[in-house]
Amino acid sequence: MKFRMLTKEEMEIFDEDFKHFMITNGVTNEEWLEWNNSDTDKAIQLVQVFSDTVLQKVYEKIQFIEFRSEDSCIVFQCLKDKIELISINKKGGNVNLATPESIHEALSKETAQLTYFKSEKKYSKTREEEIHEMITQGCFNSTQDFWDALKNGLT
C-alpha cells in the first residue's frame, strides 16, 4: 500500500465513487458481496487500491500545509518539484503559536520574541508520499492567503 486505507467514515463519504471504481474495474455487486463474506483478502485489496487512488488525488490537489505547536508554526508550500517552508519559532516570553489568533497576536505585538526562517528542499520521495508522511505527523491543510501573509510579513 502506498498510503493508508480509508477509514469507515471516509469510505461512506466516497461510497458512490467506490461503486464507480468497482464498475470500472469489472467488479459486480455480487462479487463484492461474495468477497466480503468469503474472500476478505480480495475485498481488502480492492479497498486498498481504491484508498490509494483517492488519497493520491487528494494529495495532488494540496498546495499548502502547516504544522503548529505552542513553540512553532511552520507553513509549507508544496510545489511540483520542491517544498518551501516558512518557520516562525518562539524565542521566549509568553508567545503561543498554536492558534491563528495567537499567531496574529505574536506577529503584531511580540516580534522580538520570535525567530523566522525560510527554506526549501527537493522531495526525497514522491511529492504525494512526502505530503502523506507530513500529514500523518500532524500537518494539516493550509491556505495561500496564510502563506502570502507570512511571506510578505517577513520580507
Residue 67 is which amino acid? F
| Residue range 4-20: mean pLDDT, rounded | 93
Phi (first) and psi of residue 7, to 5 degrees: -75, 170
| Residue range 36-42: mean pLDDT, rounded | 86
Which pLDDT belongs to residue 152? 80
Which residues is 121 bridged to in the sheet? Answer: 83
Which pLDDT belongs to residue 155? 52
Question: Has residue 153 got a pLDDT over 80?
Answer: no
| Residue range 45-66: mean pLDDT, rounded | 95
Question: Has residue 48 got a pLDDT over 90?
Answer: yes
| Residue range 20-36: mean pLDDT, rounded | 90
Question: Has residue 1 got a pLDDT over 60?
Answer: yes
Task: Work out the end-to-end distance of the chain between its first and last CA atoms, rounded to an integer number of angstroms.
Answer: 42
Closest CA to 150 of 77, 91, 69: 77
| Residue range 101-112: mean pLDDT, rounded | 86
Which pLDDT belongs to residue 49? 94
d(CA 143, CA 122): 21
pTM to 2 decimal places: 0.84
Question: Has residue 106 got a pLDDT over 90?
Answer: no
Which pLDDT belongs to residue 86? 94
| Residues 112, 106, 134: CA angle, nearest 5 degrees | 110
